[in-house]
Amino acid sequence: MRVFVIAGEASGDALGAAVMDGLRSLVPGVRFDGVGGPRMQAMGLDSRFPMDELSVMGLAEVLPRYRALKRRIAECAAAVIETRPDVLLTIDSPDFCLRVAKSVKAKADVPVVHYVAPSVWAWRAGRAKKMARHVDHVLALLPFEPPYMHAAGMTCDFVGHPIATQDIAGPTAAQAFRDRHRTGEGPLLLCLPGSRRGEVTRLAPRFGAALGHVRDAHPDLQVVIPCAPGVVDLVKAQVADWPIPPVLIDPAEDADGALKRAAFRAADIALAASGTVSLELAANGTPMVIAYDMAWLSRVIIQRLVKVDTVTLVNLVSDRRTVPEFVGADCTPARIAEGLRRTLAAPRAQEEAMRLTMERLGRGQEAPGLRAARSILKAVGHRI
């Protein structure tokens, strides 16, 4: 069996490596071609060019590289058409991957499987129908996504979310972290102001002001921030005048992620930007408050398009609304502080929602990479 696989960023590289491992265990002679990062290369992929060339986000970043990206799209499509693999597996990065799929489908009858369903349940429902013109089968990370893909004309399987099977710190590591970084009897708060520079710049001042309000009721409050790669210096600058000096975890000094995992498990509560981080917190059983904002024009446009009453994935997956969130105009220090105070007063209120979320994402079940591999084989009619 021959698989042409394309991933364009680090998260896709991790998904790709897991599904490659799953395919290899089910089809020992499988051969891989395509584009991927270090994890996929460790699984035997000889990447046609560096995956970093595709890891571009934002209009200002894409425009200078537009011609180069178009060449890479054409190059990948031509390679698929020439080699005629049993399946083209594209992983996330829809702006690049779906353009490759479109070019391939115009000239060759190669089955296309796309890993990570677009969030059409939240906004821009038309994306699914547009994708269905070039994609045959979808691998979904969230359990409520397959019906949306089916309605658009594609087959789709929920294959589990990798966060449900990720390693979490044990109680000994968590206690050691608390002993090292927590002084007094106050709560330990995990603060996660985002992984992009715009997020950190927009959210960090509000988070700091909110923590100042919370300190009035919890004078021994301790704060720790596991910094995302690429924004460490920015976070340091943004928190310099916070009323509670936080402990910063620099990813350069935490190569295996052990400190970050210990912090997630040790924290009594978390204040986090919206995103998949809410699932990481749920995996660790950490009660949370979610807050997010964006540029004014983006906020106005998104508010008109959004179709859900919550942006927090724990609320959506569990079908509960127990995680407080403060988005857009509600993302103010006073409201965030009130949410933190309420959560600290009743930390167990989110327990059932977090448990349900992990159960529904596949905790205790077959690994997502193996489930994804089985789904791909079924979709292309390959017998194990």
Radius of gyration of the chain (CA): 22
% of residues, the chain, pLDDT over 70: 93
pLDDT, residue 196, reads 85
Give domain status of residue 166, yes or no.
no
Cα(139)–Cα(133) distance, rounded to whole angstroms?
Answer: 16
DSSP 58: S
Residue 242 lies in a domain: yes
Q: Do 111 and 211 belong together in one domain?
A: no
Indicate left, alpha or beta for 112 from its phi (over 0: left) and psi (-120 to 50: alpha): beta
**Domain co-membership, 156 together with 217:** no
The predicted structure's pLDDT at residue 299: 63
Number of domains into which the chain is organized: 2
Instruction: Flag whether 165 is in a domain.
Output: no
Q: Are 89 and 232 contained in the same domain?
A: no
> Do 357 and 369 fall into the same domain?
no
* Tens digit of each residue's pLDDT (9 = 90 or more) over 150-174: 999 999 999 999 999 999 999 999 9
156 and 210 part of one domain: no
Chain centre distance of CA 316: 15
150 and 255 co-located in one domain: no
φ/ψ region of 301 (left if φ > 0, alpha if ψ in -120 to 50, else beta) reads alpha
Q: Do 145 and 198 have their domain in common? A: no
For 195-234, the pLDDT digits (tens) are 888 899 999 999 999 999 999 899 999 999 999 988 999 9
Residues 315 and 375 in one domain: no
Query: Out of 15-29, 256-270, 278-292, 293-307, which region has the weakest mean confidence (pLDDT)?
Result: 293-307
294 found inside a domain: yes
Question: CATH number for the domain including 304?
Answer: 3.40.50.2000
Does 180 share its domain with 325? Answer: yes
Identify the domain containing residue 34 by its residue range: 2-160+365-380
**Which residue has 């364009």 as its token pair?**
8
Query: In the predicted model, what is the mean pLDDT of residues 18-37?
Result: 96
351 close to 285: Cβ distance less than 8 angstroms? yes
Looking at the fold, whether 152 and 297 belong to one and the same domain comes out as: no
101 and 210 both lie in a single domain: no
Are 112 and 228 contained in the same domain?
no
Q: Helix 197-217 to helix 333-345 angle, to the nearest 10 degrees?
A: 60
Q: Give the pLDDT confidence of 60-89 residue by residue, as tens digits.
A: 445 656 788 899 999 999 999 999 999 999
